[in-house]
Amino acid sequence: MKFALPYLIFLGDAQADLDAKTAFGVRDWRPGACVAQWALAGGKVDLGLPALAPAAAFATGARSLLIGVAPVGGQINPKWIPALVQALEAGLDIVSGMHTRLESVPEIAEAARRTGRALHNVRHSETAFPVGTGQKRPGKRLLAVGTDCALGKKYTTLALARAFQTAGHKATFRATGQTGIMISGAGVAIDAVVADFLAGAAETLSPANDPDHWDIIEGQGSLVHPGYAGVSLGLLHGSQPDALVLCHDPFRTEIDEYPGFLIPPLATVIDLNVQMARRTNPAAKCVAIALNTSSVSPEEGAAILRDHEQSEGLPCFDPMRSDLGPIVAGIVAAC
């Protein structure tokens, strides 16, 4: 997918950073493509970018408004509609990761027609995906899995893909969510695929390749999530991963926004993912654990990594703090 760059990132009236994970992801991994941010009255999220309205952002070079908030359910908030129309009238295209198609909102569709601006629905693919076959294909694959949503699967796979490449390995990041697609320019928003074709979409995303090529596949959801386990299972079966990396927030004890749903012990989650992965790749194994220690000092984070290595018996790393060279070497050796 090709979008007109750079972006003005729209934050709506988001109250917490977790609500704007798309915005932070694009800022962190495509910083050169982000020139400004724009929040509605009452919004509390700050990316540290210049705050500009659409006309001013266009004057400084912005060419697309990227919707940087990710509400549960992926619906376009009616409160956003006047702002999105304003952006179109200022000369900006709109890049959206919502489940709701932009053109399904009459005011947005009319403004886009009138101004000649483009509407990009990143979450929706025009590809007709097949049913998964489960047939083995050449190439190596690593899939990030998790104990919950929104705890680092995207950052982990982006960091690992870069580390694999730095170490001289052939490797490609494969985006499975709207933010990953906005960062890399390609991929499949797997949570927008009809359930029967989830595994087939994952097979299509990571096709046959050279035997020594690694697809580093962004994970989605969690097998222990009461709402989003299905997408995780489809990715496990279709990706046929040789290597699994479990992503976990060591400070989270229950599923985010699902009070009372406790996160099981890591060993239980690992075993469940390995069992499901071995349905289509009997050699699948968990090779490492990625921990998000960003809320504590580097020293405290290092201690948390050591503690988890001792308790879980696997290499542990923070994708944004650790030296990933030894992690990559260990993964390649294990697979």
Tokens of 177: 């969510």
49, 36 Cβ separation under 8 angstroms = yes
Looking at domain 140-334, its CATH class is alpha beta
pLDDT at residue number 206: 96
Tokens of 109: 């569709």
pLDDT recorded at residue 281: 98
Question: For the residues of 66-119, what is the DSSP string, one character each?
Answer: EE----TT-PPPGGGHHHHHHHHHTT-EEEE--SS-GGGSHHHHHHHHHHT--E
**Domain 7-121: CATH superfamily, name plus number:** NAD(P)-binding Rossmann-like Domain (3.40.50.720)
Q: Which residues of the chain have pLDDT under 70?
A: 1
Dist. CA 288–CA 327, nearest whole Å: 8
CA 157 to chain centre: 9
Q: What is the DSSP string of 226-272?
A: TTTHHHHHHHHHHH--SEEEEEE-TT--B-TT-TT-BPPPHHHHHHH
Domain map (residue ranges) of the chain: 7-121, 140-334
pLDDT at 1: 67
DSSP run (H or E) holding 36: strand 34-39
Question: Quick check: do 7-121 and 140-334 share a fold?
Answer: yes
Residue that has been written with the tokens 């699902």 in this structure:
258
Q: How far apart are CA 145 and CA 268, in angstroms?
A: 13
Please give the helix or strand (H or E) that residue 146 lies within, else none.
Answer: strand 140-146
